[in-house]
Chains A and B, each alone.
Chain A
Amino acid sequence: MRLILCFFAVLFLSSCFEIIEDIRFQANYSGTYKVTINMSASKVQINSYMKLDSVFGSHVPKKPEIEKEIQRKENLLKAHKGIKNVLITRDYVSFIFTVKFDFDNLNSFKEAHSILTSDKKTTNDFFPFSQSGNSFNRKDKLQTTAKDMAKKKKEYAALFTQSTYTSIIHFPKEINTCSNKNCKLSKDKKNMFVSSSLENLVNDPNYLNTQIIFK
């Protein structure tokens, strides 16, 4: 019976999720990082997918596997120098996961970012944020997982178009210029907001790249 329900769920529903990165920098580039992966709009499909071994040829992890990996990352983050107040929340009913921590400086943030984005086998030294003088830069590159998904564009077409990535960065000082026309600035010009569908990010890896010059 469950299989029938799964079948109907997969048949009648299309899935999507949102990723929200919220970074709050202090003047010395210490700060707080919070990333939220919200799949609640697709909770019915996710429940169905989790009963399957694979979807579109990709392995679907089971809850214990996910927990094990979360626990591993949490331990690594907690043990890392320069990272404090690590908090990982998970909600397996609505499928909302958040990771939040404070970092002492950009270097600590880079290492924590590497822990979060690398898998068990490879190390990922890539870090999109850099700072020099009165400017702040973001330069992204397509991550391996996204590349794999991009190869299966047809299967993931609906997922790409309906899922979103949002990046919010709060600075302690006013932004003078922002090179990326996709970025929006708050009224007080201290906060930067950019949001896009995954489709845009896969098609244009430079979509998020920006250089910010402060006043």
Chain B
Amino acid sequence: MKKLLFLFLLSASINLNAQDLIKYLPENPLLYGRFALPTIFKSQPLDSLKEYAFFQAFMQEVPFNRQQDADSLLTGIINDIEKFGLSLNSDMHIVVSQEDSLIQSNIYFQINNITELEKNINLLFPVGDSTVYYSAANDFKLFIYKDLHMAWNNELFIVGARMSLRMETQNSWDLTDAEKVLQEKQLNERDANAIHKIFHANTLVAKRKYLKKMYQDAAIATYMDMKGLYNIYLDAMTAKFRYYGALNIFSPVNNALPFLDSKVNIGIYFNNDELVIKAKSKMGKELRKKLLKVYKRKYNPGIFNYVPEDALLSAGIKINTEAYINFTFDILADVYSKIPRYGRYGVGVITFLQTFMDEKGIGELVRGDMIFSLNNISKKNISYTTYDYDEDYNSTEVTKFNEYKVPSFSLIGSTGNPKQLEKLMDIGLDLSKVYVKENDVYVIRDNDLNQIGGALYIQITDKLFFVSNDSSFIYNVIPNKGYDKKLNAKAKKNYKGKTMYLDFSADKLMKSLADSLDEVALISSNKLLRSAAGKLHFEQSFSWFGVSTTLKYKTSDKSNVLPFLTECMNQYYLEQKNRYSYNDYDYESVAVDSAYALDSTTGPVGEPDELYLKEDGTYDVSAPHSDYEQAVEEAQPIKKEEAIKPKKVTSKK
């Protein structure tokens, strides 16, 4: 009954016959995303996307039709999909899965016209073309062209790409042309078997448990197996390093996988005037147990008295500092303990620190419940020197003023040992002239703060500590025990039970920063700025069942939210590219450099550190790498047959 109900609900949210689709989904995907295309295009019109630089830049990166401009290319793609025999009026599905050492990324479309589709495929990749590999099984036809593959039956069209975690094709330079062709054929056969396995629709539908946990009514719903994804990411990243025999810099992360073990579901909704992103994550038992201790903390109710109602930004976090320190040490110790050879030094340092650190004492000083507020943007006049000139151009110094906008903030946290905290704060008092104590308030007035006409204030009361650059907060709000009591209840309700909470009024901040009415008008007239001028709300709670996160973005112009976000990412990417020339970053040369660095430190007869891939897919730590072997041959007059050779990796059939 439960299964029937689940299938019924799923059918309602998936246009393609749910039974038919589900049986073609893998049982344990690394990533599955369902995109309700009609809902998405209704909310975020494709036409608006075309206007933005990020989209045009993206289209330029598409390997086909480079000469065409982005606009005609977009129109072409949309029209072609329909002409190609596929439907844009149904859901699109993206699946990343692993079969043996083969990672597949597939996109599923519903077929509109199978005759048209097959005609187009034949036109693009004619049967008989020696570079194309065709096969058929399980009602699916399949063709493979290099790393690209397409598969289809009467209803479903799947286009995808593959990545092998094995290194066999890297060795192809020492093969003859005939051997290369044979190797490619063997690989294509192996890949075809793996791909067909996915479409082998004889397993029970109910085995796809992950579908039950997904956000059924979201415009975009995704499921991610974080451990699996990290694994393939690390495998891909470390492939070059392994190949050149360099120290695997990612091994610490690899060893931390038990801590990254989680299943994440994300749902994106385009509601009337807001973009809502919901996420829930269920971790492995080990991580959950540790995090439960970290998040087992309640806000000191007194903190809520000091949260202003109309803050531009208000953010809170509650953790158990003692448990958090222990958690950090545990992770670090675990990671280092698994690193060959050098890991023990890391464990040693951690053990040393842990022995002398009083986690409990620190946890009492700063308990871990804190709220930060960006209260407002105030204007300050700051003097500067410039010059005026008389009629003979003799200069005289004059003082003028610049208007600066300075943010006023406050941070309130709780302490279990205020006396000790005060003692700590007293330490620097006699040592510096810029750090003084005035009426129980610690004040820092150094050069920077003086120049922007302010100071940093720290005050400690019975159970709370305050940090702010706003004197009126320190001298008016704190003596009055906070703001209006009604606000306390409101803040308490907002923050209750949430491990993290954030409210950000981007609209208010933009208006505060605007210098004139013209700039305010600019915000209203510019589509992207108008979309950005919204209200962001984020909250996260943690329970035995995992982490639950909600992010809402409310804006008067929802249709440009995605363009705005992607435009920001594009700007950030361009800036980074410009600043650091990331394009020139070459992992291969880094790997080679690392390999040489390793050789120069350990010497040619040193002990190889690198893991080597064996035929059964596991790693052999004892086999030396090829550079190492070469170095041994060059440096030592030993017999070639005595040198240990790395085992040749062959594909697993």
| A residues whose Cβ falls under 8 Å from a Cβ of B | 1-2, 5, 8-9, 12-13, 18, 20, 22, 36, 38, 40-41, 43-44, 47-48, 56-57, 93-94, 96, 154-155, 168, 170, 186-188, 190-193
Binding site secondary structure of chain A: mixed
Query: Is B382 among interface residues, defined by CB-CB distance under 8 A?
Result: yes
Closest partner residue, chain B, to A54 (CB atom): B579
Residues of the B chain whose Cβ atoms lie less than 8 Å from the Cβ of A43: 382, 384, 451
Minimum CB–CB distance from B386 to chain A (whole Å) comes to: 7
The 5 nearest A-B residue pairs measured at CB: A40-B384, A41-B384, A40-B385, A191-B393, A193-B393
A85 to B392, CA, bound (A): 24
Contact A94 B385 (CB under 8 A): yes
Q: B384-425 interface mask toward A, CB cutoff 8 Å, 1 = contact, 0 = none? A: 111101011101000000101111000000000000000000
Q: Mark B79-91, 1 if CB is under 8 A from A, else 0.
A: 0000000000000
Contacts A43-B384, A96-B385 hold; do A186 and B452 have CB atoms under 8 A apart? Answer: no
Which chain B residues border A2 with CB–CB below 8 Å?
448
Chain A residues positioned under 8 Å from B513 (CB to CB): 12
Neighbouring B residues of A5 by C-beta, 8 Å: 448-449
Contact indicator B404/A13 (Cβ below 8 Å): yes
Nearest CB on B from A200, distance (A): 19
In contact, B392 and A22 (Cβ under 8 angstroms):
no
Assuming the contacts A8-B406, A41-B384, A41-B402, asked whether A47 and B447 have C-beta atoms less than 8 A apart, the reply is yes
B332 at interface (Cβ–Cβ under 8 A)? no
26 contacts between A and B (CB under 8 A): A1-B456, A5-B448, A5-B449, A8-B407, A9-B448, A9-B452, A12-B406, A38-B385, A38-B387, A40-B386, A41-B402, A43-B384, A43-B451, A44-B404, A44-B448, A44-B451, A47-B448, A47-B451, A93-B447, A154-B578, A168-B389, A170-B392, A186-B391, A186-B392, A186-B393, A193-B389
Chain B interface residue number, banded = 20 to 34
Nearest neighbor of A195 in chain B, beta-carbon distance: B389
Proximity string of chain B (39-64) to chain A, C-beta cutoff 8 Å, 1 when within and 0 when not: 00000000000000000000000000
CB nearest neighbor in B for A166: B387
- A191 and B392 CA atoms in complex are apart in Å by 6
CB within 8 Å of A: which B567-584 residues: 578-580
B404→A38 contact, CB < 8 A = no
Q: How far apart sit A12 and B408, CA to CA, in the bound complex (Å)?
A: 13
- Decide: A168 and B393 in contact? CB cutoff 8 A: yes
Interchain CA distance A44-B456 in the complex, whole Å: 16
Which of B393, B395, B456, B513 has its CB near the most chain A CB atoms (within 10 A)? B393
Question: Which A-chain residue is minimally distant from B399 (CB atoms)?
Answer: A40
Specify which chain B residues have a CB less than 8 angstroms from the CB of A155 in the assembled complex.
Answer: 579
Min Cβ gap A162→B in Å is 11
B405 to A, closest residue via Cβ = A12
Q: How far is the CA of A28 from the CA of B393 in the complex (A)?
A: 21
Residues in B neighbouring A57, C-beta threshold 8 A: 579-580
Which A residues lie within 8 Å of B579 (CB)? 56-57, 155
CA distance A188 to B390 in the complex (A): 12
Q: How far is the CA of A168 from the CA of B388 in the complex (A)?
A: 12
* Distance from B447 Cβ to chain A, minimum over Cβ atoms (Å): 6
Q: Which residue of B lies closest to A167 (CB)?
A: B393
Residues of A within 8 A of B395 (CB): 20, 22, 168
**Chain A min CB distance to B448 (Å):** 5
What are the residues of chain A within 8 A of B384 when measuring CB–CB? 40-41, 43, 94
Chain A positions within 8 Å of B447 at CB level:
47, 93
Cα(A20)–Cα(B389), bound, Å: 12
Chain B 477-534 interface residues, beta-carbon cutoff 8 Å to A: 513
Query: Do the beta carbons of B452 and A188 come within 8 Å of each other?
Result: no
Using CB atoms, name the residue of chain A closest to B377.
A12
| Residue of A41, A154, A170 with most chain B CB atoms under a 10 A cut-off | A41
Which of A40, A56, A193 has the most CB atoms of chain B within a 10 A radius of its CB?
Answer: A40
- Contact residues in B for A40 (Cβ distance below 8 Å): 384-386
Set B392, B452, B580: member contacting A44, Cβ < 8 A: B452
List residues of chain A with CB within 8 A of the CB of B456: 1
